[in-house]
Structure 1
Amino acid sequence: MSAPAAFAQDATAQAGKASAERATNLDKVTVTGSRIKRADVEGPTPVVVLTAADIEKEGFNTVYEALTTLSQITGDVQNELTQSGFTPNAQFLNMRGMGPGYTLILINGKRMADYPQPYNSRSNAVSLSSIPGAAVERIEVLTGGASAIYGSDAVAGVVNIITKSNYDGNAVKIRAGTSTRGGGDTGLFQFTGGKSGDNWSVTYAAEYLNREEIQASQRDFMDSYYDNPDFKGRPDFATATSGVYLYRNTGAQYVWKGSDGSINNSVKNLREACAATSSEFTPYNSSASVSNSTPNRCGYFGYPATQSVQNSFDKLSGYVAGTYDFSNGLQAYAQALVTDSTNKGYSSTQFWQTPGYVYDPTLGYVQAQRIFTPEEVGGPQATVYDETSINVVGGVRGIIADRFDWDASISHSRFDYDTTRPRFLTNKISDYFLGPKLGMQGSYPIHKMNVDRLFSPLTPDVYNSLITDVRNSGSSKNTTGSFTISGDLFDLPAGPLGAALVVEAATQEYTLDPDIRSTVTYTGADKIYNLTATGGGGERDRYAMGLELSIPIFDSLKASVAGRFDKYDDVTNVDGAGTWSAGLEWRPFNSLLLRGNYSTSFRAPDMHYVFAGPSGSYSYIVDQLRCRQANLDPKSTACTGNTDYYYQVFSTRQGSRALEEETGKSFTVGFVWDIIDDLAMTVDYYNIKLEGAVSDIDSDYLFRNEADCLLGKDINGNPVDGNSQACKYFTNLITRDNTDLGTNKVTEKLSVPFNQAMMRTSGIDASLDYKFDTDRWGRFSFGMKYTHVLKLEERDLPDSELHNARDDLQYFNYRSKVTLNSAWSKDDWSASVYGTRAGSLPNWAETGRVSPYFTWNLTVNKKITNKASVGIQVVNLFDKAGGNDDTFNSYPYFWRAYSAVGRQISAELNYKF
């Protein structure tokens, strides 16, 4: 019977080989990037294939871990190291450095629901956290624009995850492992099986993954502010987060409560106050240039130690797929993939501070802050993520007149998300330290501050009386009905004219239901302290029709053209989007394919960019205006390490219904060359351009421009017109404290998305694969895949200057990436080595670059019976952790693209029956 449109279920085992190995003598199959069946796996657009066997040989536990090592994944994403972010439990891909969401993720050619919680509180993307390796047959990755085939989102590429089918027998895998630096104990159980009859088949799989968390306290290079490279070798100069302070506006003094009850700014009182508040608090000087022998602050150096390096996982997945052949030539098919997980992530401990100045009748105008240690709150506090994903599809397919394959299906994908985390109640925590409000002194509230409580430990019982569980939930759905028909229309002199027609109707919706007590508009007595959640929700319908033609021009030359129109029925300014593509394949010799493809692409605005309700968040900013007014370099430790200039601010944002679609163009040209038997090579050039990208302004970019505008010059002394339209835009997004006691600090920044940015990237992808047999030593294989980014140009605003971000020392995506693999097998033994070289990144000081980052994985397997085998896997063989950057003075002291896990070792048992 015919394969479902958009994926190759009936390919032979050869179709799973590396993309550089051009298959011949195959039955016609459908390969990602086209809906027309073809005998040649290689086509006009490059496709990389990652098989289940590849994932096994590379030693990874999850599909996501394997995909992130692909050379085309050069972009950075927020991850588990970003616990202060909005999606620390999601797993996103960033192909070509264009950002999550610009790569279309499919399961068997069908769309998946987005992760409900938006990435960085802004955009939507598919998380790969719900894909179990037990269900995966192979993954086909198209590395170019493909909206003319698949519609929205296929800008940087397409990842098509193809699940197992027609499986015969049963197999069990049990794996157990840990990290050699501590934490991260992992257990993996996989069961895969299948049965078939005369007219039916069923394939099934189950997977259970349990992984222990790793906390920063288990990594000695990031468990304390003493690990800051600026202070290694001179710990007396280390700066920390202020664990507790009381600041009096009168005399501009930090004052402390001594053991005799006095409140003053003496060093004696400071030392006594630190010791009385917590054993974790240490006197220090807030300026990195002054020795701590003359302290002026009470610091908490272990503040970041409780945050997660790696979240804990507890995931259970099930998969089933089946077919039934009717006597009239029809085949019904259905698939279901369900994953349920309960994961945990840990962030740094909570803190409390006064809402600006308050007036104390005894002390005058004061500000105060208090950070709480794990001992005070009963240990590290976890955020629990309960997530369930469901992907189901059902359909019927057949053949018309022994000529045309057709397929009609309905697919539904859903992702439900629920989080629970402990947080302070605003009124309770404020009343605990400030007592009741006694009136107003001008524009400031009057409180009689409880200084004794400020400078004494908090007990777990008291902590529990001040907190509540905050629950946020969300759901995302995508339902699509599609009909595809493909086949040969008629014969041309050089061969048959192939065609495929697709018609789709789809609906997409999402809801984010935050704990109402954490919304910016909530004013109840039980409002959550220092936490604002993102809410939103909406739906839209989509209708599409596409046509694709495969045109033989000569025996050795073939053209392919495709066109598609997507009609959107929603509240945005997107009415419809038409896209097209054209490709050429020329085979001057049987062993050589020259190929090229040009396509247009688009991306409909993210649902959350459109429907986000008013929301707020707290984030740290570098106040570049005040730094420069104090004659400090905004990038220096004197600025970034000082709470007068580096502090939290409140940010508000909401969606916009005035958004239009983002439009793109993609061009690839290259060759596939079978040099000799078992030696193949590919080289492809890519060029992708995206215009009208929806974005919020980057925080550093915003505050840099605000400072330029208000000071009338940039940091290099070049004049800036403070009355320009751009300057008015930048300064209107920022609110500063200009009250009578104001410090001119930022109190709030506003963010609204709009179509503003342009991005253009180009580069080279190359691969080399070689295999050979020896009578004595066994079979060997070697492979290399290489991506080199030649250019990545960006324009933040329509009238901004175009700059090449690739060479910018603030660009933290890889400019090059290489993967290397070698394998050996002989008799009952096999082994493989898999290496990744991630290219250099800028150092944090922006004065140079950090050397490339190498990791190596090793797997060894031994067949012990006809049914059983055992193996060991070592991921990150040489225990590389963090980046070697002696200038990285911001926690965690290395860029998040690097690993903090280190070496992982596991052993496994495989049994087939």
Structure 2
Amino acid sequence: MVVKHYGLQRSRLSAALFAALLVPVSTGVFAQDATEEEAEVTSSQAASDSASVPTDLDKIVVTGSRIKRAEIEGPAPVTVITSEELERQGFSTVAEALNTLTQITGSVQNELTQNGFTPNAGVIDLRGLGPGRTLTLINGRRAADYPLPYNGQSNVFNFNSIPSAAIDRIEVLSGGASAIYGSDAVAGVVNIILKTNYEGDEVDLRLGTTTRGGGDTVNASWVGGKVGDRWSLTYAFQYFDREEIFASQRDFMDSYRDDPSVDPADATAVIGIRLRDRLIGTGINSYVYPTGQDGASICGRFSDFELQTNGACGYYGYPATQQIQNARTDRSGYLYGTFDFTDTLQGFASLNIWQSDATTASATQFWQPPLFYDTNFGSIMDGQRIFYPEEVGGFGSQQTTLEEKAIDFAVGLRGVFGERFDWDATVSRSTYDTHSERPRFVASKINEFFLGPQQPGLDPFFNAYPVYTLNQDRYFNPITPEEFQSLITTVVTDADSSVTQANFVVSGDLFELPAGAVGMAATLEAGSQEYTLTPDPRILPGADPADAIYNLTGTGGGGERDRYALGVEFSVPVLDSLTVNLAGRYDKYDDVTAVDDAVTYNFGVEWRPIDSLLLRGSYATSFRAPDMHYVFADESGFFANVYDQYNCRQDGNDAGECRTNQDYLENVFGTRSGNPGLEEEEGKSWTAGFVWDVIEGMSVSVDYFDIQLDQSVADISTEYLLRNEAACLLGTDIDGSPVDGGSSACQFFTSQVTRIQGGPNDGMIDQIAVLPFNQAYNGITGIDASFEYRFDTDRYGDFGLNLTWSHTLSQEFQEFPGDEIEEYRDDLQNFDFRSRINWTAAWNRDDWSASVYGYRWGSAPNWEETGRIAPYIIWNASLGKKITDNASVGVTVLNVFNKLHPEDDSFNSYPFFWRAYSPIGRQVFASFNYKF
């Protein structure tokens, strides 16, 4: 018989799950999901039930296995976040909440990185192994990737695309799980489980703002469900609108005078306007102005430019026009329905649609002409011209707009056969589409606006540079917004991705052993994954010079792959107190790569020597097929700041000097393309730990983890490329050891770097080329621990305490086979957090509830790499009151103490703090909820 759960009639296991894993207090609204009798079960009773695990409990599926089980804890630890927790913690997006988990030790590009390729994506980095090495599932099924590649390299999942109103819970498994889920489950699995079989209705309105200015937020949702004799329908609709925040609204990051490493009076500004005679050099004595004018007279014409002591026109507020938080308007709808054809056959379907309109903005645009011969000055010239807000048309006039839509649809049947086995057959399709429009200069238009038409011939000195006559009146005076707009075009990029798949799962008890039934689950999968990235052709290498976009590059690509898989799991009760779990899976891939197939397995042990103590351990192998954009990327361009190791060493400098000397820092153009010859990454991980119910209501868990990854794919780093190019050209490496300049490796390194021949820039880097390759080894070990304590009082109410902690013991890296394995956990260039802690204290009494939630990120290196800075500690708080039987109100404060980044007096690179820290400051939200 198919077990029905209409109206969320909570089983004793479900009650135990929510009580044992979660703090049982919320300032938000609780779903109408329990009968009156079940509602009377106290959290302490539920916790007591969970310790002994009664035999009559319903079984559920927990991430990490497809076998339904009656125990909450398994051989590998799983972290659960419920919708009530998401609301209580007060975060506006799923990505914000996930990034406070202790296992998320790596930092990622975020909305501070407005020059990035994915400025509207919410990304996580589990264990610091990279955003793409965590598999994301929706109801146990693969979801479409964000089609714009992270950092222009690889695809990731956008957690902003999951509306919080539709979420029932999120389960996070840290560690390899390819034997259950296939490729990508290397660092772990995030399974987003949406609401099902819900009865009743509730509406929720949440309004908020920041106390430092900007970021006003509206979040409204309606969640409900209906149940009939043979059917059920669950629905959720959400509207989310958030205002942008500009850097100008934060006085600690709106100017280069905020550089903590110098006195504000001595701060170095970006040069707002300059023209240099390159035959003289690059110093201040090379600056030239129109006849009879100097820097003071020129700077005075631009309201935001200031005369420097060296005579240059400085622009301190250059970064103020960038957004540090995107504006977003999201609309989403979710439907889930079931229909019982018979007592043993049920049909179901789900549809989740999310649409977002967002705006981002980087710092104001600038123009640097190529080296040219000017007829007025009779010399080789270069320049730099920044456009300040009054010229552009004010803040917001250069915003990039993004339109995004994600759709996830599934339909299937489930039932039972033989009275011992459940089966589930599902067909699903998940798609993601993006469209972006970005205002940028047309190179030919802005060149002609300031330089005029190119004149015949080349320069008389080197016979290499074009001849122009600079329009000095335009160049040395502000232009109007109308003139600015005449030089601008809209750069359009479209991208889409999809996953189409079919899954069949059967699970149940095979036969009985003296200690219990042998559980089994088998799965058969087939799927197809594809993506298309179509950038504006004017930003690609080789674009027509008449149409090319100034100072902007892009990446294109597209491809598809098919995959097939067969997997099986067993849960074997060897003794009443000892269970062994086994799983194996075969994956077959059909694409252009060297990946053909992969076999993975895992092994887990659960031993309960006494009812209150679980000893557990697991070992798993994993693999990851190369990310599709690593394989199918077209040739694209990028700009990078690099240190010229060759010229630096040739001038007699040592290794340290060649990594810091600004004289050898160059902004160079590079190209990148995919590599169809990539092989799969192969990993293995193991865990060992315990869960102990110390006393009634109190539990402790500690788990050790070890994850190792071979053949990990990454782009060859520019530093590594230039270090080896220098060694090949000079015949010795940085330590003085001899290097064979004629080796195949040296031929590769030198072929990837092109240097200028002749002219003022003779010998400087002209262009570099990179591509992804299989690296040798990454490894990480550490400890996860948690503590929970719940207790009830007759007079003062009910209390819950929760503490979780993750600590990295070691991180290892080896770039190529044969290289020395480097331990880099404490490396002062490693900004992964070595430790993270979360804590919650919750209380409720009668109609009142309150909670305090906080997190601590461990120390990070300072910017000058001489030591470490202080930990980062944030406190959130919430208070709620039930004002009628159906209505409740609440207030939530994020970052109660208005905490900013830890101080680092050496951080002289904008925004003057590491990107993991938030510049938003305190946020205050008021909420109203009504059930009907």
Q: TM-score band, normalised by the shorter chain?
A: over 0.9
Structure 1 residue 359: deviation in Å? 5.2
Structure 1 residue 763: deviation in Å? 0.2
Structure 1 residue 64: deviation in Å? 1.3
Alpha-carbon distance between aligned partners in 1 of 2:424 and 2:451, rounded to the nearest angstrom: 68
2:35 corresponds in structure 1 to: none
Q: What are the Cα deviations for residues 677-733 of structure 1, in whole angstroms up to 9, with x where unaligned?
A: 100011000000001011112334444555566566677x65463736655544433
1:274 corresponds in structure 2 to: 299
1:799 corresponds in structure 2 to: 818
The residue identity in structure 2 corresponding to 1:884 is: E
- Of 565, 572, 579, 1:544 maps to 565
- Cα pair distance change 1:627/1:370, threshold 3 Å: farther
2:104 corresponds in structure 1 to: 73
- Of 175, 197, 215, 1:166 maps to 197
1:135 corresponds in structure 2 to: 166
1:428 corresponds in structure 2 to: 445
Alpha-carbon distance between aligned partners in 2 of 1:114 and 1:638, rounded to the nearest angstrom: 36
2:739 corresponds in structure 1 to: 721
Larger mean CA deviation between 627-636 and 65-74 belongs to: 627-636
Q: Does 1:530 find its partner at 2:554?
A: no
Q: Does 1:12 find its partner at 2:25?
A: no
Match runs of 1:341-380 below 5 Å: 341-358=356-373, 360=375, 362-380=377-395
The residue identity in structure 2 corresponding to 1:74 is: T
Q: Does 1:869 find its partner at 2:888?
A: yes
Alpha-carbon distance between aligned partners in 1 of 2:270 and 2:124, rounded to the nearest angstrom: 33
Larger mean CA deviation between 397-406 and 614-623 belongs to: 614-623
The residue identity in structure 2 corresponding to 1:416 is: D
Q: Does 1:115 find its partner at 2:146?
A: yes
Structure 1 residue 238: deviation in Å? 1.6
Q: What are the Cα deviations for residues 629-678 of structure 1, in whole angstroms up to 9, with x where unaligned?
A: 677889889957x5x54443211011011011100001011111111110
Match runs of 1:652-667 below 5 Å: 652-667=671-686
Q: Does 1:474 find its partner at 2:489?
A: no
Structure 1 residue 16: deviation in Å? 3.1
1:391 corresponds in structure 2 to: 408
Unaligned runs of 5+ in 2: 23-46
Q: What are the Cα deviations for residues 770-801 of structure 1, in whole angstroms up to 9, with x where unaligned?
A: 00011111111111000000011011222332
Structure 1 residue 202: deviation in Å? 0.5
Structure 1 residue 624: deviation in Å? 4.8
Unaligned runs of 5+ in 1: 285-291
2:521 corresponds in structure 1 to: 500
2:708 corresponds in structure 1 to: 689
Q: Does 1:605 find its partner at 2:622?
A: no
- Cα pair distance change 1:2/1:431, threshold 3 Å: farther
Query: Do 1:344 and 1:382's aligned partners in 2 also have CA atoms closer than 8 Å?
Result: yes
Query: Do 2:409 and 2:430's aligned partners in 1 also have CA atoms closer than 8 Å?
Result: yes
Q: Does 1:764 find its partner at 2:783?
A: yes
2:67 corresponds in structure 1 to: 36
- Cα pair distance change 1:792/1:369, threshold 3 Å: same
Structure 1 residue 12: deviation in Å? 2.1
- Of 314, 317, 322, 1:307 maps to 322
* SS of equivalent residue, structure 2 residue 889: strand
The residue identity in structure 1 corresponding to 2:804 is: K
Alpha-carbon distance between aligned partners in 1 of 2:474 and 2:4, rounded to the nearest angstrom: 70
Structure 1 residue 882: deviation in Å? 2.1
The residue identity in structure 2 corresponding to 1:130 is: S
**Identity of matched residues, %:** 52
1:288 corresponds in structure 2 to: none
- Cα pair distance change 1:785/1:814, threshold 3 Å: same
Query: Do 1:257 and 1:451's aligned partners in 2 also have CA atoms closer than 8 Å?
Result: no
Match runs of 1:178-217 below 5 Å: 178-217=209-248
Q: What are the Cα deviations for residues 162-212 of structure 1, in whole angstroms up to 9, with x where unaligned?
A: 111111111111111111111111111011001101110111001111111
* SS of equivalent residue, structure 1 residue 366: strand
1:84 corresponds in structure 2 to: 115
1:620 corresponds in structure 2 to: 641
Q: What are the Cα deviations for residues 515-547 of structure 1, in whole angstroms up to 9, with x where unaligned?
A: 112211221522211111111001110000001
Alpha-carbon distance between aligned partners in 2 of 1:237 and 1:137, rounded to the nearest angstrom: 54
* SS of equivalent residue, structure 2 residue 448: helix
Alpha-carbon distance between aligned partners in 2 of 1:524 and 1:634, rounded to the nearest angstrom: 40
Q: What are the Cα deviations for residues 249-278 of structure 1, in whole angstroms up to 9, with x where unaligned?
A: 2222655565xx417xxxx712222223x2
- Cα pair distance change 1:132/1:496, threshold 3 Å: same
Alpha-carbon distance between aligned partners in 1 of 2:170 and 2:272, rounded to the nearest angstrom: 49
2:853 corresponds in structure 1 to: 834
Q: What are the Cα deviations for residues 422-481 of structure 1, in whole angstroms up to 9, with x where unaligned?
A: 001111011111111113322221112222222111211111111111110100000110
* SS of equivalent residue, structure 1 residue 505: strand
Query: Do 1:622 and 1:634's aligned partners in 2 also have CA atoms closer than 8 Å?
Result: no
2:837 corresponds in structure 1 to: 818
TM-score by length of 1: 0.94
2:350 corresponds in structure 1 to: 335
TM-score by length of 2: 0.92
1:902 corresponds in structure 2 to: 921
1:287 corresponds in structure 2 to: none
Q: What are the Cα deviations for residues 358-392 of structure 1, in whole angstroms up to 9, with x where unaligned?
A: 45464321112211111111123111111000011
Larger mean CA deviation between 762-771 and 12-21 belongs to: 12-21
- Of 890, 893, 899, 2:912 maps to 893
Alpha-carbon distance between aligned partners in 2 of 1:372 and 1:719, rounded to the nearest angstrom: 49
Alpha-carbon distance between aligned partners in 1 of 2:878 and 2:651, rounded to the nearest angstrom: 56
Q: Does 1:100 find its partner at 2:131?
A: yes
The residue identity in structure 1 corresponding to 2:455 is: L
Query: Do 2:372 and 2:467's aligned partners in 1 also have CA atoms closer than 8 Å?
Result: no
Structure 1 residue 738: deviation in Å? 2.8
2:339 corresponds in structure 1 to: 324
1:416 corresponds in structure 2 to: 433
Q: What are the Cα deviations for residues 810-868 of structure 1, in whole angstroms up to 9, with x where unaligned?
A: 00010000001100111111100001000000000100001110000000001111111
Structure 1 residue 598: deviation in Å? 0.4
Q: Does 1:773 find its partner at 2:797?
A: no
The residue identity in structure 2 corresponding to 1:478 is: V
Alpha-carbon distance between aligned partners in 1 of 2:256 and 2:721, rounded to the nearest angstrom: 28
Query: Do 1:615 and 1:654's aligned partners in 2 also have CA atoms closer than 8 Å?
Result: yes
2:266 corresponds in structure 1 to: 237
The residue identity in structure 2 corresponding to 1:450 is: N
- Cα pair distance change 1:426/1:727, threshold 3 Å: same
Larger mean CA deviation between 13-22 and 345-354 belongs to: 13-22
Q: Does 1:517 find its partner at 2:538?
A: yes
